[in-house]
Amino acid sequence: MINLIRLELFKIFRKPRTYIAFGAVAGIIWLIQLGFWADGESYINFGMAALSETFDVQGRVLNGYLLAYIILQTLLVHVPLLIALVSGDMISGEANMGTLRLLASRPVSRTQIILSKFLASFVYTMALLVWMAVWTLFFSLFIFGADDMIIMKSEVVTQISAADAAWRYVAAFGFAALAMVTVSALAFLLSIFAENSIGPIMATMSIIILFTILNSLNLPIYQEIKPYLFTTHMLGWKGFFDVAVNASNEQIPGSVENLPAVMRSAGMLLLHVILFLGASLYVFKRKDILS
Amino acid sequence: MPSTVETPPLLEVSGLTKTYGSFKAVDDLSFTVFPGDVFGFLGQNGAGKSTTIRMLLTLIRPNAGQIRVFGMDLQQHRREVLSRVGAVIEKPDLYGYLTGQENLSLFARMSGKGITKDRIQETLELVGLQKRAGDRVKTYSQGMKQRLGIACALVHDPDLIILDEPTNGLDPQGIADIRNLVLSLSREQGKTFLISSHLLAEVELMANRMIIIDRGKKIVEGSVRELVDPQDRELHLEAEDDGFAVACIEKTRWADQLMRDQLPQVVLRMANAEIPALVDALVAEGVRIQALRPVNRLEAYFLSLTHA
């Protein structure tokens, strides 16, 4: 099995398409960092104008932690496409090239083929997330330095000390990884049904867009299904930046306001991964390979 | 050398059936391949050859029937069987972005056997690709891809090699190279081949046994020698005056061998050894012979299927 995973990783990382995602992530992050480096202060001052009238805000508001948060919010909407580029190609790409019949006629079981390919796409997803984390967090901290992080939401302002921010990012990236693996598993499942990779990639993105639209519609008819849509839970990483407060309304360092909700979202995502992978195994084991 | 029917079969297919809706792609097909055979699997395009081969390689599930390879049931011993089988199915599609050597190494590692670098090199040399092994496959010609596909099928030293239309898209030299490779592996290493083709002439040159299928059904199976017997062949005689030639033949001892159902064409069924005597007799009678061509009954039959 390890041998098969190695072979799959070899194929993924020898394919030029794989590096589109790494290049795109680095490029987008670099552009955001450049923009904030050139004009970030005025942008932040504008955003903080109302707050500054009431509070005396000291220190570096525009710091690496805040920028990493902004970048994560921006990028995690687009990364699924980059994930689908590779995962949606795992089976359909082989069918398109005509190599699927060669793989499936080797002395390895179809279960092994699916698991090795899925695990290889999992490694790719992790690699992309680590790459994103390095560019987002480390380079932002390197360029903009570290300080307390101020997050403004519609009704509340949360201040997280620099010492309390780092672990939240680790947890947020961990959660984001699970969300991206869910997307990867969906694209992987869809790739079994197609003989070219465009279909699964488009189908994955269409499903994500459709579910996201359903999430944003506050209509009673859709309220019942929202908890079961994986897109509802994909932004659960933000929960790590909601800090719990004590009876005196003081923040408790190292706490998360609603950890059960975050864990519930993680559980839902994990359940989706298992469902998508199980369906992939079920379909592929019964599939006649005609490509 | 090819084995005889007394030897236990290496591949035994019985009652194999595959349907797609109401369409029967393969219909109750049975045949046997013996160790050392070069077995020709003939049929026109769409006859069910590729579907059968895909079932032999577990790519397609049959609706009915049984496949036994090396004495084992294919479904129950899939892994064990496939580790001893090499195949090129239809086009030799490989990873274009990898080099020839990388492709071969990748499929070698999937065989479950410890394939050494020397073996990979040896296989590349066997198919004559050692000089281009470091180039990406997308730069290869069709013939080179075909040879690399065959190398992938041979690298793990299988006992049964299945080649589906191996000469498709090849130039005459490429076809000859593949034929020579098959014959040398069969004669020198005793490998068993199952070769599908829609070209009878090609199979005749390589195979010792063959089957012809049409619309998924077996039409005929047997040794090539029996099916294409040079000692009992049909000869088409063309003379300046065919009517006079027929009249002369009627007076000779070959009168019974004249195929009257073929008239006005002059066709005789006879052994090769008798041809000189026939020619001498007819010339002596004053028949001006213009041509004497052998008619391959199997080919005629096969062509009638193809043209149907």
DSSP state letters, A220-283:
HHHHTTGGG-HHHHHGGGGGGG---B-TTS-B-TT--TTHHHHHHHHHHHHHHHHHHHHHHHHH
CB interface of B with A, residues 93-122, below 8 Å:
93-98, 102, 106-107, 109-112
pLDDT of B157 above 70:
yes
| B2: CB partners within 8 A, 6+ apart | B34, B36, B37, B38, B186, B208, B209
Using the 8-state DSSP alphabet, how is residue B39 labeled?
Answer: E
CB distance A175 to A237 below 8 Å: yes
Q: In 3-state terms, what secondary structure has residue B130?
A: helix
Highest mean pLDDT among A275-284, B16-25, B180-189, B283-292: A275-284
- The residue of chain A nearest to residue B75, with distances taken between CA atoms, is A109
Q: What is the pLDDT of residues B46-61, one digit of tens each?
A: 888 889 999 999 999 9
Q: Distance of alpha carbon A238 from its chain centroid, rounded?
A: 12
Q: Establish if A98 touches chain B: CB-CB under 8 angstroms.
A: yes
Portions of chain B given CATH number 3.30.70:
230-307
Q: Do A99 and B89 touch (CB under 8 A)?
A: no
Q: How far apart are CA A151 and CA A70, in angstroms?
A: 10
- The residue of chain B nearest to residue A288, with distances taken between CA atoms, is B60
How crowded is residue B1: how many other Cβ atoms within 10 Å of its Cβ?
9
Q: Establish if B58 touches chain A: CB-CB under 8 angstroms.
A: yes
- Quote the longest CA-to-CA distance of chain A: 72
Q: Do A108 and B112 touch (CB under 8 A)?
A: yes
In order, the DSSP letters of A42-90 are HHHHHHHHHHHHHS---S-SS-HHHHHHHHHHHHTTTHHHHHHHHHTTT
Query: pLDDT higher for A59 or A15?
Result: A15
pLDDT at B85: 92
- Chain A residues touching B114 at Cβ < 8 A: none
Element (H, E) at B209: strand B209-214
Rounded to the nearest integer, the mean pLDDT of chain B is 84
Q: What is the pLDDT of residues A188-219, one digit of tens each?
A: 999 999 888 889 999 999 998 898 888 888 88
- Chain A residues touching B63 at Cβ < 8 A: none
Q: Distance of alpha carbon A187 from its chain centroid, rounded?
A: 14
CATH of B230-307, picked from 3.90.1170, 3.30.40, 3.30.70, 3.40.1000, is 3.30.70
CA nearest to B103, candidates B146, B152, B173: B152
CB distance A183 to A206 below 8 Å: no
Residue indicated by tokens 């079981």: A109
Q: Summarize the confidence of residues A119-142 as an average pLDDT.
A: 88
Q: Establish if B54 touches chain A: CB-CB under 8 angstroms.
A: yes
CATH of B11-227, picked from 3.40.1410.10, 3.30.450.20, 3.40.50.300, 3.10.100.10, is 3.40.50.300
Query: pLDDT higher for A10 or B295?
Result: A10
**Nearest chain B CA: its distance from A82 CA (Å):** 20
CB interface of B with A, residues 164-223, below 8 Å:
none
- Chain B residues touching A11 at Cβ < 8 A: 95, 98, 106
Instruction: List the single residue in B85, B93, B109 with the smallest CB-CB distance to A3.
Output: B109
The first and second tokens of residue A29, run together, are: 């992050």
- Chain A residues touching B91 at Cβ < 8 A: 98
Cα–Cα distance list, A107 to A131, B107, B110, B284 (Å): 35, 11, 7, 68
Highest mean pLDDT among A146-150, A251-255, B14-18, B123-127: B14-18
pLDDT band (50, 70, 90) for residue B33? very high
pLDDT at B107: 87
Q: Establish if A1 touches chain B: CB-CB under 8 angstroms.
A: no
Q: Do B89 and A102 touch (CB under 8 A)?
A: yes
**Nearest chain A CA: its distance from B141 CA (Å):** 16
- pTM comes to 0.81
Cβ-Cβ contacts under 8 Å between A and B: the total is 75
Domain boundaries, chain A: 2-286
| B30: CB partners within 8 A, 6+ apart | B13, B14, B15, B16, B65, B218
Q: How far apart are CA B59 and CA B52, in angstroms?
A: 10
| A10: CB partners within 8 A, 6+ apart | B106
Q: Summarize the confidence of residues A139-144 as an average pLDDT.
A: 86
pLDDT of B4 above 60:
no
Element (H, E) at A121: helix A110-133
Instruction: List the single residue in B80, B91, B97 with the smallest CB-CB distance to A98.
Output: B91
Q: Do A97 and B109 touch (CB under 8 A)?
A: no
- Radius of gyration (Cα) for chain B, nearest Å? 23
Q: How far apart are CA A185 and CA A191, in angstroms?
A: 10
In order, the DSSP letters of B243-280 are HHHHHHHHTSTTGGGB-GGGTTSEEEEE-GGGHHHHHH
Query: pLDDT higher for B94 or B168?
Result: B94
In order, the DSSP letters of B277-290 are HHHHHHHHTT--EE
- The residue of chain B nearest to residue A287, with distances taken between CA atoms, is B60
Q: Establish if B256 touches chain A: CB-CB under 8 angstroms.
A: no
pLDDT at B1: 47
How crowded is residue A49: how many other Cβ atoms within 10 Å of its Cβ?
9
Portions of chain B given CATH number 3.40.50.300:
11-227
pLDDT of A282 above 60:
yes
Residue indicated by tokens 């990364």: A79
Q: How far apart are CA B150 and CA B48, in angstroms?
A: 22
Q: How far apart are CA A290 and CA A9, in angstroms?
A: 25
ipTM summary value: 0.74
Q: Summarize the confidence of residues B100-128 as an average pLDDT.
A: 86
